Structure 1
Amino acid sequence: MVHPIGVSPSALGELLSVFEENFRSRGEIGASVSVWWRGEEVLSTGEGWCEKEQTRPWTEKALVPVYSATKGPASATLLLALDAKGLGPETLVREVWPAFPVEEATFAHLLSHQCGLSALDQRAMIWDHDAVAAALEAQVPAWRPGDGHGYHPRTFGSLVEEPVRRLTGKPLGQVWREEIAAPLGLEFWIGLPESEHPRVARLYPGKAAAEDLQDGFYKEFNTEGTLTRRSFASPAGLRSVQDVNDPQAWTYGLPAMGGVGTASALAKFYQAAIGAIESPLNDRVRQALGTLRISGEDRVLMKPTAFSCGCQLDPVDESGKKVRELYGPSLEAFGHPGAGGSHALGDPDSGVSFAYVMNQMELSVLPGRKSVDMVQALFS
């Protein structure tokens, strides 16, 4: 549990022990971890190297691409843009985007992966937003709201980008920076300026372990034509870690997977998302980010998942007990991981937020032991 006057020193000590163990035995190259509690950053550290050649020491100021950990900030941006127009999660998507292919879909459905648009039949490159939006408009949904859910790993970017552009006349990354990141002083970008490029650490791909390849997700992922494989290939492009190390991936501003920033910035964002600090995120936006919308077997990830409007929660079993604890013991905690191991969360019950970023990736589709062990230590 969290110490009544803050995060206990022993819990932070245990977390740091895990952090150090990741370097000793789990192949960590460079990493940062940040913990905030009720408006104060109680832990921020970074160690290791920005590349294997050990040219640049890693500090807590290192920037790193975080893949799908971008989805939380991107979703907050769309929710804030909707709110500014007097709209919200229950608004039909077609009120903003008339050609959206799912007539009955609300923004709550869209943000919680219920629209069945995770894979595209029409080829479009991830760098061409207009082409991806057109492909989405032409897509026959694989399922519809009310028929379950399935993670939209890549199409999610254009699904949130297009409404933001229609609502504001600006790219989502620009709205994020102007309305949320800059007011909060967050070193996190969805569209990184060239001036920050020298701070970006190099990513390294994970290696497959035997147990990884037995997972139901990887069987589907490695089978041609499955929904899982198609979902992780739609839209086309930006498939390899080498591609994500290209500055084009940092600057383009992809809301599903293109965020670049520090652990401290991500953890502070979740302080705002749980209402622990004053921020542009009002009660309506925060409630949407943290309120469960769908839970059950994920059609794409092939395991139980649970989503709010843009964030993940831990799913629970029939007795109400958590199936896993990626976000700590509280049923109210939420956040979002990123491919390879980055992880971030906020817990409204305790006022704690946490973020971890690194450059040695793992293959697990959900956060692995490097971050989960730290979360467990934090709430011990």
Structure 2
Amino acid sequence: NLPNEIEVVYNSAQAIRQSHNIFIDTATAKLYALAMDGNVGGSAAMRIFDISDPLNPVRLGSYNNFGGLSVGHVHDAYVRDDIAFLNCGGSGFALVDFSDPTNPQTLSTLTDYPFRGYNHSGWLSDDGRYYYMADETHGADIKVIDVSDPCEIEVIGTFNAEVSNPSSITHNQIVACNYLYVSYYYDGLVVFDISDPANPEKVLYYDTYPEADGNSYKGAWGVYPFLPSGNILVLDMQSGLYVFEGMGDNCAATQELTPVDLSCLGVSASAEVEGVENLELFPNPASGVLTVQLELAEGQKKVNVRLLDINGRLAQRLGNEPLQPGANLLRYELDPALSAGVYLLRLEGEGVNAVRRVVVR
């Protein structure tokens, strides 16, 4: 189901002349350019662009320091709803909230951890609770990090390809549902079942580089499990492209991803809902208009509806609404001056207290 033709709509070196890698946070229309150089603005460890208008990317900021962790370059990144997991090479790892790109909030950093080497890459579990991190260093295990409290992250386990090669080394890894797909250089494709997040189980292995192992960088260095067919793509530096049959329907890439819980910042996107039922926001992400659907069990109540930024500050007063018993549908025009990013919708009133996370584009 892939298109037979594609059309180039933007081609310029003004914003980005070269970059080691990019990551696009589709929910917020932000592009993270890593270890980059541009004809305008020069080089940067990392730079963020607003690409909500793909023909006119707008630079939002340049970054090389995260909570006192000074970095020469950001090698790779994984971003979900403005929360960025940054692999900073020899400097270590940083977890940063870029909801406000002009004032990013560093949630955690890691500079001392098991099998530390060149902090290279990682991927977040679908439920947003575990991060699988790899150092591109021979003989180094993959790390399992508990990020359920992003302000107090912790390495809770390590694992490897379970091969005899003492120089085994990972390149990239991707989570799709309950599987972690790893391009493992000399050891080829290795897939782990992460149903038990802290104790991954190796379930599939194919050596794309059958020649002798070494202490260099050869073999599988790219993996992609998100094709509509479920098939797995693997790129080997020496032998080319491999296509493997997928792991089954339970590994489809359509599963909804859970936002990172930011309750450690004093606000929560998943706070207990009190006084209302079946609270839903749509569309989410929202642009221009936000509709709130909820049910009130009994009685008439007046509810104050506000939009807060991720730090709990008022972003927009939406209304002071009389709710009727049963189904209620509330429609709000969002302030055009709102910056794109993650917000919290708060409903407060007599016997009513509820918070829901919403992304504004």
TM-score, normalised to structure 2, is 0.27
Larger Rg: 2
TM-score, normalised to structure 1, is 0.26
Q: Which one has more relative contact order, counting CA pairs under 8 Å at least 6 apart?
A: 1
